[in-house]
Amino acid sequence: MSGVDPTRRAIYAKLQIARKQLGLEEEIYREIMTRITGKESARDCSLTQLEALLRHYRSIGFRARRANNRAEIRKIYAIWTDMGPRLTSRGSRDALRHFVKRQTGVDAPEFLSAGQAQRVIEALKSWQDRIGA
């Protein structure tokens, strides 16, 4: 998804958050998408269609939450930013997502449970100590 427009990427993320928050199984998610947009895949939808899908999810109870307001998530980003200049990735967000995925199996810091976030924080602190950040 690296070549995807950032606006589309943000909408894709919101759609997945909505799907999880509403407890929609894949089949139901696809059925709603087809009914609202006429498409079977978000990648085939226009921005207008994706926004219509988000509006529908909001109408049935999806409430977007700002994920970074959790202290442990902010701490992950703070440690990562501090380490950034010493990393070959220069501390890119994609590199952080890959690190989180390797550590927990979760796609991004925003989706971590409190326990998973704490494990990532401890792993980052250990890494930080090793590289002398």
Is 71 in the same domain as 127?
yes
| Cα–Cα nearest to 67, from 130, 13, 126, 3 | 13
Which residue bears the tokens 């202290």?
Answer: 71
Domains of the chain: total = 2
Provide the pLDDT for residue 2. 57
In this structure, what token pair is assigned to residue 128? 């930080």
Provide the pLDDT for residue 122. 95
In this structure, what token pair is assigned to residue 107? 């796609």
Domain range for 105 is 67-131
Sign of CA dihedral 35, 40, 41, 45: negative
Provide the pLDDT for residue 59. 92
Residue type, 131: I
Residues of the chain with pLDDT under 50: none
Is 49 in the same domain as 20?
yes
Provide the pLDDT for residue 65. 67
Is 97 in the same domain as 53?
no
Is 127 in the same domain as 82?
yes
Residue 94 domain flag = yes
Provide the pLDDT for residue 5. 77
**CA–CA dist 53, 39 (Å, integer):** 11
Is 11 in the same domain as 47?
yes
Residue 1 domain flag = no
Query: pTM of this prediction?
Result: 0.50
Provide the pLDDT for residue 112. 86
Q: Which of 35, 59, 83 is the last residue of a domain?
A: 59
Is 127 in the same domain as 71?
yes
Residue type, 111: F
Is 126 in the same domain as 78?
yes
